[in-house]
Amino acid sequence: MGHNATNHDMPTAESAEVGKTSAVDRLVDQIRNLIAERGLGIGDALPTERDLGEQFQAGRNTVREALQVLRAYGLVETRPKVGAVISGGHGEAIRRLFAFHNGISPDSFLDLQGFRRIVEIGVGDHIFLNASDADLDRLEATNGRIRTAQTVEEAARYDYEFHEAIVELSGNRTTLAAYRMMRTVIQEVMRLGKAERPVQSATYEAHAEIINALRARDRIAYAYLMSRHLEFGLKFVGAPSVGQDVAAKT
């Protein structure tokens, strides 16, 4: 019996690998958040591997594997005598999509929301098949934060967290990683109009309708409501004629 108990307590190769993968994924997310929170730009250096390990309580191998993942996504690159820095390739892609100093153009808005529509509507079927009532309850709680937001930045952050939570319910790590890489530009779009309380309320109500469609497993309603919600911010971009054209098509 003692031998059996020992075998039961010992981690299998498979469970050890799953644990390691989870630790790497978690650290990748933490580094992405660090980049966003510090506003790091092209060429800016990340903390050293040692500092990352200490800050996030991660082992040396976990840190190195997490940085390899970020290199594979084109988010960071390694420079001699400097270490890991924000990659110019990824940064330029973001710059081409959004030129913040010139404001958000209607074309840029539609490009980004088109990307989001593909992702956020596309994950619907998987959510219908796999999301539990508890998952949707958590989504509802996340949405509730928007009504308590005191600043534009808070409202935009809670708005983003709601939509990221929807993508996360797909259970697809690659899709979630791609979405998270666009967090900075998505949140910038979500800031549009948030200074007005009616807009925060409208965002909350739109999210509530989306959750109801998910609970009802209503694919048509979900796709329609999400598409309409993603086009809402166009009215704040400064191109009424384009907004009217889009509204006429929905």
User: 């892609």: which residue's tokens?
Assistant: 93
Q: What is the pLDDT of residue 8?
A: 43
Roughly what angle, to the nearest 10 degrees, separates helices 106-122 and 240-249? 30
Residue 87 shares a structural domain with residue 150: no
| Residue 40: per-residue pLDDT | 78
Phi then psi dihedrals of residue 206, to 5 deg: -65, -40
**Tell me, what's the pLDDT at 241?**
38
Among residues 57, 72, 92, which one ends one of the domains?
A: 92
Q: What is the residue whose two structure tokens read 């619907």?
A: 124
Residues 52 and 151 in one domain: no
Does 152 share its domain with 223? Answer: yes
Rg of the chain's alpha carbons, rounded to an integer? 21
Strands (DSSP E) found in the chain: 76-79, 83-86
Structure tokens that stand for 191 in this block: 């800031």
Question: Where do we find the tokens 């840029």?
Answer: 108
Q: Are residues 108 and 79 in the same domain?
A: no
3-class state of residue 86 by DSSP: strand
pLDDT in tens, the chain (250 residues): 444 444 444 444 434 444 545 788 889 888 888 887 887 777 889 999 999 999 999 999 999 988 888 887 677 888 888 888 887 655 555 555 454 434 566 777 888 888 999 999 999 999 999 999 999 999 999 999 998 888 888 888 999 999 999 999 998 888 888 888 788 778 878 887 776 667 788 899 999 999 999 999 999 999 999 999 988 877 777 544 333 443 333 3
Q: Which residue do the tokens 């644990």 mark?
A: 19
159 within domain boundaries = yes
Regarding whether 203 and 161 lie in a shared domain, the answer is yes
> Contact 233/199 with Cβ under 8 angstroms?
no
Q: Note whether 54 and 155 are same-domain residues.
A: no
- The verdict on 118 and 83 lying in the same domain is no
Instruction: Enter the DSSP assignment of 146.
Output: G
CATH number at residue 9: 1.10.10.10
d(CA 156, CA 221): 24
CA distance 172 to 174: 6
Residue 97 lies in a domain: no
Q: What is the pLDDT of residue 94?
A: 54
Domain end position, chosen among 42, 63, 92? 92
Contacts (Cβ under 8 Å, ≥6 apart) of 78: 71, 84, 85
pTM value is 0.59
End-to-end CA distance of the chain: 67
184 and 86 fall within a common domain: no
- 78 forms beta bridges with 84
CB atoms within 10 A of CB 159: 26
User: Of 62, 92, 122, which marks where a domain is finished?
Assistant: 92
Tokens encoding 99: 């030129």
Q: Which domain holds residue 151?
A: 103-249
The reply to whether 175 and 230 lie within a common domain is: yes
Structural domain includes residue 235: yes
Residue 242: what pLDDT?
A: 37
Whether 85 and 118 map to the same domain: the answer is no
- Does 238 fall in a domain? yes
75 part of a folded domain: yes
The first and second tokens of residue 41, run together, are 């730009």
For residues 116 and 21, membership in a common domain is answered with: no
Does residue 98 sit within a domain?
no
Q: Is 15 within the bounds of a domain?
A: yes
Residues recorded for the chain: 250
Region class of 88: left (phi > 0), else alpha (psi between -120 and 50), else beta? alpha
Contact criterion met (CB below 8 Å) for 236 and 193: yes
Residue 197 within any structural domain of the chain: yes
Q: Are 55 and 115 in the same domain?
A: no
Q: Based on the structure, what is the number of domains in the chain?
A: 2
Token output for 124: 């619907």
Residues 6+ apart with CB under 8 A from 135: 169
Q: Tell me, what CATH number does 140's domain have?
A: 1.20.120.530
